[in-house]
Each structure stands twice: as structure tokens, then as C-alpha cells.
Amino acid sequence: MIRFDAVRKEYPDGTVAVEDVTLEVPSHGVVVLVGSSGCGKTTLLRMVNRMVEPTSGTVSIDGVDVRSIDKVELRRSIGYVLQAGGLLPHRTVADNVATVPVLQGTSRREARSAALGLLERVGLDPKLGDRYPAQLSGGQQQRVGVARALAADPNILLMDEPFGAVDPIVRDQLQQEMRTLQSELGKTILFVTHDIDEAFALGDEVLVLRKGAEVAQRGTPAEILANPADEFVSRFVGAGTSRRTLSVREVDGRRIVVDGDDRPTGVLAG
Amino acid sequence: MNLFAEAIAYLLDPANWQGPSSLGLRILEHLTFSGAVLALAAAIGIPAGVLIGHTGRGRGLVVALTSGARAIPTLGLLTIFGLALGIGLEAPYLALLVLALPPVLAGAYAGVESVDRATVGGARAIGMSERQIVLQVELPLAAPVLIGGVRSAALQVISTATLAAYVSNTGLGRPIFQGVKAGDYEVMLAGALLVALLSLAVELVFQALQSAAARRAEPTAVPARATARAPERNTA
């Protein structure tokens, strides 16, 4: 469990990135922080592995204040996936995935062969292990990023807009596969995105943030859609827009779901 | 043209490559002396430049130092050091160090500075220590630019090291100064030709080093090996 306790981040120039946040991320679940850019969601995420130190308040993992853990050790024990993978361009894909285990003292040979297994796990051909990141597509690089984060078998995964740089079709696939992977692995995942649809697609729980990382609403995607807490959340999730206002039409004996503009979006099952 | 023929004849005469005034000895002196200057310049300039590039602190220093040092005439500096330190290798050593340090420092700094901050941030976030970031990420990626700095320092030092003979009788400056003094212009020209050839040779060595470093830093930019883009699997 990750816990933020009265956390605040103020930069020397007076900018307040995180106002006063207290929240818990339960173990083995996916919690998505969603908000527009500059709302402090990434700052919050980066506090967990001490890439950002809060000005006041504490962040703890399973009751242990992260400040009491050596930064480097802490970061190696937490998987981190960032946009465009953040891979090392001068190392092969397999070496990239093997980075953390090698830093932790696993032999390079052993770490590399484990890396090939991980590539398969995230849906990549292990043959790509000998390639360099620049030879892979954006979606493939993103998968490598996920494989690298999983390499040291961490309990916690931090994901910072990992699918922001890939095209929508690939993003859908990656989201779907991430759900499958998570159902097998059961990691504690804190996921940051500005895309509400991605938040709803991935989150067991979603936190809608406004400026200063203030939690405007926390709930399951269904709860938030059913009952937006206020005007801000309702606008953010697009409640009441034609895209979110679905109704059912009967066509040729089948029930078709249409949006507010009468555009069909799917078929009701059963 | 006659002078050139005489100079080449001088270079080809085996007698000039033997004994205590052998040209081979002069080349060796020249290289050793230049190498010693470069070694210290690198020992100071590379760590300093890498540190400044890594931390982002002291950028102003690099800019001031590199642009300021460019304005210093090495001959003037050598004269000042020579008057202060007397005859010997110390004065030219210091003067050349002042000449070599700025390009080495600037190359190391610019190389590290040019490494994508997202790559460095990613390395830090997955748990590389600052030392590992410098050694395993920044240095390999900065190497082509860094070596470029050493390369330009090496060229300047080798061509300017002829001045060492001004206050100490050493290196390829010796035949040049001797030729000027004695009116043996073919000797002077022979010395000058050797300096030019030496510069070219060193330039070639550094060029090879630099492209080897570039291949490591950007393995995919190499057209030779099997670097065709990975076929897009329809899953991603």
C-alpha cells in the first residue's frame, strides 16, 4: 500500500505543484491519477520513488517512510514506465530490459536470458532483443519499457503517461494487454494520464485531480460516470456530452447502442 | 620550388635521421611533449566538463573560459611564462595547457549537456546512481563530442608545440628555429612539413576514435550491419 500523508510540493520560485494531498493506493490494484497537464499528477507519482521530494508531508510504502530508504535502492525496487519508454539508445533491447537486475548483481548472461522471457511476456518477439530501441516502433518501445519495469519483479509499478506517445489503435492494444498482464501479476500500479478514457479503461479506481493535485473525486469509473461530484468532474469526464449519453435503438431485431448524436457505437449483447 | 625540392631532399637524406640530431628524435620529442600536455588537459578538462554538464552548475564558467581563452595569444603567454620560469619545458608546457584546456573542457561539457534529459531521467528513475548515470549513460553518449574536443585540442597543441623550441631546444620547432637562424630555409621547411604531416596523422587517429565512439553512441546510425527497421508485428 502506498500512502500520501498531507503531502505538499512547493518549488523555490513559489509554484505549488501539489497543494495538500492525503490518499492511499491499495495493494494489488490499479489506481489512475487523471487530470489536465500541470495539475501535479506526475509530481505526485514521482514522489513515490523520490524523484521528487515533498516540501512537507510523508509518502510511505507499506508503512515505511520512503525517505528512510536509500534513493537508489528504492528506485530499483519499484518499476517505472515513462513515455516513449525512456530506453537507453546505446544498449540493445535485451540489455535495456536487463539493466536493473544487472545493477543488482545478477550476471549479465542470466539477466539477458530472463529479459528475453519478459519480452515474450509483453508480446514481443524475443528476436528483437538484439535490436536497438531506435529500430523499434513506438508501440514496441513502450512494451520494452514495461518489460524493463517488470525485470526486477517489483511489487509496485509507477506508470507516467506510458502510452501517451503511441497512436490510438496501438494504445488500445497496449491498454488491453496491460489489463491481461495485471490480472496475472496483481501488481500495485499507480498510473498517470491526462486521458479520461484511458483512466476508465485501466483503473480499478480513478482519481480526478484539479490544480495542485487536489482530488476532485475518487471512485470506480462507473461511480464517477454515474455520479460526478461537481461541475469540474462532470466537465472533465464529459458527462452529458453526446459521447457519454447512450441510448438503445432496435434495428433488424438487434439492439444497437447509439450516442447523443444518434451515431451507433456498438451492439448490446444478449 | 627549389626550396621545396631541397627540403624534401633533406627529409629523404638518411643522415638526417641518425644520431643525436635525428629528425626521428625530434618527432618523438614533439609527440611526447604534446601528449603530456594533452594528458593533463584531459585529466583536468574531462572530469570538470563532465561534472558541469551532469550537474548543470558552472555553465557560465565554461563559456567565459572558452571564449576568453581564445583571445590569449600563445606566443605572448609563452614569453611571459618563459620570463617567469626561465629556459626549459615548464613555460611552453603551461602555455600549451592554457591553449588545450578550453576545447577539452568545452567538448566534455557540450557532449554531456547534449545527452537527452529524458534518457538521463529514465536512467535515474529506474535506479541508476549518479555515478552509474555518468559512466554508463552520459559518457558513452557524449563520447563523440567529447573526443571532438580533445581532437581539436590535439591539433592546436601539435602545431603550436613548435614554439617550445623558442625557450627549450626540443621538438620539431628545433629545425624550424635553427633553419631560420642559420638561413638554412630547407631545414626550416623540412621541420614545418613534418609538423603538418604529424598533425594530419594525429587527425586521422582521432577521426577513427571519434567514429568508433559514434558507432557505440548511436549504433543504429551505422548503415553497414543488419540494421533494417524491425518489421512491424501486427500486434503493435
pLDDT in tens, A26-69: 999 999 999 988 899 999 999 999 999 999 999 999 999 999 99
Query: How high does pLDDT run on average in chain A?
Result: 93
One domain for residues A233 and A250: no
Q: Are A224 and A255 members of one domain? A: no
Q: Are residues A74 and A197 in the same domain?
A: yes
Please state which of the ranges A183-197, B46-60, B212-226 shows the lowest mean pLDDT.
B212-226
What is the 3-class SS of B157-201, one letter each residue? HHHHHHHHHHHCCCCCHHHHHHHHHHCCHHHHHHHHHHHHHHHHH
Q: Which domain does B175 fall in, by range?
A: 21-221
pLDDT band of B226, cuts 50, 70, 90: very low
As a whole number, mean pLDDT of residues B147-174 equals 92
Are A59 and A163 found together in one domain? yes
Assigned domain for B202 exists:
yes
**Domain count for chain B:** 1
Number of domains in chain A: 2
Q: Are residues A117 and A135 in the same domain?
A: yes
Span B64-81, mean pLDDT? Answer: 84
For the domain that residue B103 is a member of, what is the CATH number? 1.10.3720.10
Q: Are residues A147 and A244 in the same domain?
A: no
Mean pLDDT over A10-35 rounds to 94
How far out from the chain centre does Cα A134 lie? 23
Residue-wise DSSP of A226-247: HS-SSHHHHHHHTTTSTTT--E
* Nearest residue in A to B133, CA atom: A88
Whether B65 is in a domain gets the answer yes
Residue B137 to residue A88, Cβ atoms within 8 A: yes
- Kindly indicate the confidence band of residue B19, based on its pLDDT and cuts at 50, 70 and 90: confident
Q: What CATH number did the domain enclosing A234 receive?
A: 3.40.50.300
With an 8 Å Cβ cutoff, is B119 touching chain A? yes
Cβ of A90 and B141 within 8 Å? yes
Decide if A123 and B235 are in contact by the 8 Å CB cutoff. yes
- The pTM is what? 0.85
How long is chain A? 270
Using the Cβ of B140 and the Cβ atoms of chain A, whether some distance falls under 8 Å is answered with yes
Q: Which residues form the domain of A15?
A: 2-239
Which residue from B minimizes the CA distance to A175?
A: B236
Closest residue on chain A to B139 (Cα): A90
Q: What gap in Å lies between CA A48 and CA A106, rounded to an integer? A: 25
Res B222: pLDDT: 54
**Within-domain flag for B227:** no
Give me the mean pLDDT over the B131-145 stretch.
96
Same domain, A230 and A266: no
Cα–Cα separations (whole angstroms), residue A48 to A70, A109, A159, A213, B117: 13, 31, 11, 15, 20
pLDDT at B38 over 90: yes
Rg (CA), chain B: 22
Contacts of B225 in chain A (CB under 8 A): none
Shortest Cα distance, chain A CAs vs residue B38, angstroms: 28
Residue numbers in A near B230 (CB within 8 A):
128, 131, 135-137, 140
Residue B90 lies in a domain: yes
Q: Which of B114, B124, B126, B216 to mutate to test the interface with A (most CBs of A within 10 A)?
A: B126
- A33 & A120 share domain: yes
Other C-beta atoms within 10 Å of A15: how many? 10
Residue B156 lies in a domain: yes
Does the pLDDT of residue B236 top 50, yes or no? Answer: no
| pLDDT > 70? residue A240 | yes
CB spacing of A103 vs B132 below 8 angstroms: yes
Residue B23 CA to residue A88 CA, distance in Å, equals 49
Q: Is residue B3 part of a domain?
A: no
Q: Are both A232 and A253 inside the same structural domain?
A: no
Q: B127 vs A73: CB contact, 8 Å cut-off?
A: yes
